[in-house]
């Protein structure tokens, strides 16, 4: 810039939008042309070399100028554009934006020329920033770091954005993972959510991010299972999931293997007989179902049946206990329906990994929500009383719910149970299915209509169908009976009789416990 007086502007950070806006206003007011301005950020570090700057970096001038008033009104879309483009990694972005601003003020026709090279260039830059933000939202993968006894785990992710987008994207993760404590490390910036506030700090290195965990193994299993070879379009996939992100995406390790085998597997899929549509828990036809009363183990689907089919060879081995732990953590974050947003925590199933009998309730109640354990409130106490009378040790049962979060409405300070809607129960069903898949119970008890519908895949009239075994997931028998809350709510004059009838229903499952391994 020989022959020109250069005005040096130092901004507070790479993304100092308020600083840029104020300085640009001041420069315009002083009629300082774009060619006379040099923009600096702490990272570019050159501002001190020009200490004869005639504009203070920290005291923007908004004063009127002796050359007369200046029209500083620009379209609001331009302001939005600037806010985005400022996040671009091009060091020339401030100069480009100031130059456009200058021209908008001094060349009114520019507003009507969308094909102007300067306008097109910054539009492309904004597009690149938006794409980077979208990719960060899609491709951040958290890994869990245990923080020590009694403390919630920290979830850490490593990501390499192209632009200065960490501050801009962090609120998205805050809203999405409010309940978790998490951190995202990038080479330039880091952000940490402690459950209450976002903290921004300097960048890190990839080696600071944790190694793969059980949750990741589960995700890989899921990814391998949902991968549909018949729909593989490699070019499209690379467009959506650019190769440059692959080294940070655990599932990318599977892609080449899955893709290599895709043709052969598509062929097998075409030749294979049609499968049962819709529900993932497929009831087995009654003629192949086990006889319940005398021989609990006969005909029950064994582990070899699980994952049978074209995807079986892709399943990544993971111990059921690890899988259940990972599932439990994942339910906490689940927001597939609105219930989770208001609950204290998710309440996952509890019991031995290979319990012979799984008991399924509706959803956690107030006490369960607070304590994070199923059936520990009033309904749970009635259930405990019943099983004690039947001689069933609770520690031999796997006890869970169809819906994993507590749905309630506030009446004053009291949280009153609300029945989940069909849509909410359906959104939650896959968690229960995954639990069944891991525990492999020989039989299940459905307590109430919500559990019965989840297990049988159809509406169930509990009063009519109670005390009977029905065909449930993968040939497992499902005993339908009342929910203990129904007994608690019922007519006190009939309590004793109703309780006795309920015990009679439950007693039908005693054989399964006797045969427990």
Task: Please select the residue that binds ligand URA; options are 60, 374, 441, 472, rule is CB under 6 A.
Answer: 374
Task: Tell me whether residue 379 or residue 508 sits nearer to ligand URA (CB atom).
Answer: 379
CB-based closest residue to ligand URA:
361
How much of the chain is in helix, strand and coil states, percent to nearest 5? 45, 15, 40
H or E element, residue 41: none
| Residue 408: half-sphere exposure toward Cβ, Cα within 13 Å | 20
Task: Please select the residue that binds ligand URA; options are 85, 379, 436, 508, rule is CB under 6 A.
Answer: 379
Beta strands in 224-338, from DSSP E residues, in sequence order:
none
Please state the separation of Cα 493 from the chain's center in Å.
48
How many residues sit close enough to ligand URA to count as binding (CB under 6 A)? 13
Region from 134-142, 164-172, 306-314, 370-378 binding ligand URA, contact rule CB under 6 A: 370-378
- What DSSP assignment string belongs to 212-271? P-HHHHHHHHHHHHH--GGG--HHHHHHHS-GGGGGG-TTHHHHHHHHHTHHHHHHHHHH
For residue 375, state whether it binds ligand URA (rule: CB under 6 A).
Answer: yes
d(CA 501, CA 202): 65
140 C-beta neighbours (distance < 10 Å), count: 22
Minimum CB distance to ligand URA, residue 296 (Å): 25
For residue 438, state whether it binds ligand URA (rule: CB under 6 A).
Answer: no
Footprint of ligand URA on residues 477-516 (CB under 6 A)? 485
For residue 398, state whether it binds ligand URA (rule: CB under 6 A).
Answer: no
Which residues on neighbouring strands pair with residue 183, listed in sequence order?
156, 192
Minimum CB distance to ligand URA, residue 365 (Å): 4
Give counts: helices (H), strands (E), the chain: 19, 14
For residue 435, state whether it binds ligand URA (rule: CB under 6 A).
Answer: no
For residue 369, state whether it binds ligand URA (rule: CB under 6 A).
Answer: no
Rg of the chain over CA atoms, in angstroms?
31
- CA distances for 274 relative to 268, 271, 277, 304, 325, angstroms: 12, 9, 9, 20, 34
Minimum CB distance to ligand URA, residue 475 (Å): 25
State in Å, rounded, how far the first CA of the chain is from the last one.
Answer: 84
Task: Tell me whether residue 362 or residue 471 sits nearer to ligand URA (CB atom).
Answer: 362
Q: For residue 176, is it left (φ>0), alpha (ψ between -120 and 50) or beta? A: alpha
Task: Please select the residue that binds ligand URA; options are 363, 438, 440, 481, rule is CB under 6 A.
Answer: 363
Region from 248-256, 321-329, 355-363, 427-435 binding ligand URA, contact rule CB under 6 A: 355-363
Minimum CB distance to ligand URA, residue 39 (Å): 60
The answer to whether 341 and 407 are in contact (CB under 8 A) is: no
Region from 11-19, 92-100, 261-269, 376-384 binding ligand URA, contact rule CB under 6 A: 376-384
Task: Tell me whether residue 361 or residue 475 sits nearer to ligand URA (CB atom).
Answer: 361
Q: Where are the alpha helices (DSSP H) in 391-494?
A: 422-439, 449-456, 462-465, 484-489
Minimum CB distance to ligand URA, residue 218 (Å): 24
Region from 257-265, 285-293, 361-369, 459-467 binding ligand URA, contact rule CB under 6 A: 361-369
Beta strands 7-10; 37-40: pairing state: parallel
For residue 365, state whether it binds ligand URA (rule: CB under 6 A).
Answer: yes
Task: Please select the residue that binds ligand URA; options are 34, 290, 351, 361, rule is CB under 6 A.
Answer: 361
Please provide the size of the chain in residues.
Answer: 517
Minimum CB distance to ligand URA, residue 210 (Å): 33
Minimum CB distance to ligand URA, residue 404 (Å): 10
Residues that bind ligand URA (CB under 6 A): 361-365, 368, 374-375, 377, 379-380, 401, 485
């Amino acid at each position: 810039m020989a022959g020109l007086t250069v005005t040096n502007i130092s901004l507070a950070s790479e993304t100092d939008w308020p600083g840029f806006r104020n300085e640009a206003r001041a420069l315009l007011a002083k009629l300082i042309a774009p060619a006379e301005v040099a923009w600096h950020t702490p990272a570019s570090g050159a501002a001190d070399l020009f200490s004869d700057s005639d504009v203070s970096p920290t005291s923007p001038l908004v004063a009127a100028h002796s050359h007369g008033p200046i029209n500083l009104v620009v379209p609001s879309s331009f302001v939005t554009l600037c806010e985005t483009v400022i996040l671009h990694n091009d060091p020339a972005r401030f100069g480009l934006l100031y130059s456009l601003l200058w021209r908008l003020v001094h060349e009114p026709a520019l507003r009507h020329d969308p094909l102007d090279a300067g306008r097109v260039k910054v539009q492309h830059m904004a597009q690149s920033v938006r794409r980077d933000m979208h990719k960060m939202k899609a491709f951040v993968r958290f890994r869990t770091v245990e923080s020590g006894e009694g403390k919630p785990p920290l979830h850490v992710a490593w990501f390499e954005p192209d632009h200065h987008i960490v501050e801009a994207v962090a609120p998205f993760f805050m809203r999405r993972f409010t309940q978790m404590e998490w951190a995202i490390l990038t080479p330039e910036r880091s952000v940490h959510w402690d459950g209450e506030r976002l903290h921004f700090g300097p960048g890190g290195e990839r080696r600071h991010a944790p190694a793969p965990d059980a949750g990741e193994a589960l995700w890989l299993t899921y990814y391998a299972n949902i991968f549909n070879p018949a729909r593989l379009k490699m070019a499209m996939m690379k467009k959506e999931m650019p190769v440059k992100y692959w080294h940070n995406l655990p599932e990318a390790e599977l892609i080449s293997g899955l893709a290599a085998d895709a043709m052969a597997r598509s062929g097998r899929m075409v030749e294979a007989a049609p499968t049962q549509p819709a529900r993932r828990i497929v009831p087995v036809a009654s003629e192949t179902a086990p006889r319940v009363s005398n021989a609990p183990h006969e005909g029950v689907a064994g582990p070899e049946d699980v994952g049978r089919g074209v995807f079986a060879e892709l399943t990544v081995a993971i111990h059921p206990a690890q899988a259940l732990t990972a599932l439990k953590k994942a339910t906490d974050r689940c927001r597939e329906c609105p219930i989770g947003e208001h609950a204290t925590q998710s309440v996952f199933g509890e019991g031995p990994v290979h319990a012979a009998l799984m008991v399924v309730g509706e959803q956690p109640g107030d006490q369960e929500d607070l304590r994070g354990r199923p059936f520990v409130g009033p309904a749970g106490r009635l259930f405990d009383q019943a099983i004690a009378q039947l001689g069933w040790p609770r520690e031999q049962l796997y006890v869970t719910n169809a819906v994993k979060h507590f749905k309630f409405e506030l009446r004053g300070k009291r949280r009153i149970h609300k029945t989940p809607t069909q849509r909410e129960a359906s959104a939650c069903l896959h968690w229960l299915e995954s639990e069944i898949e891991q525990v492999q119970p020989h039989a299940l008890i459905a307590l109430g209509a919500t559990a019965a519908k989840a297990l049988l895949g159809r509406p169930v009239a509990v009063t009519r169908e109670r005390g009977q075994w029905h065909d449930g997931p993968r040939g497992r028998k499902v005993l339908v009976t009342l929910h203990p809350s129904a007994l608690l709510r019922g007519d006190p004059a009939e309590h004793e009789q109703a309780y006795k009838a309920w015990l009679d229903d439950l007693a039908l499952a005693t054989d399964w416990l006797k045969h427990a391994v």
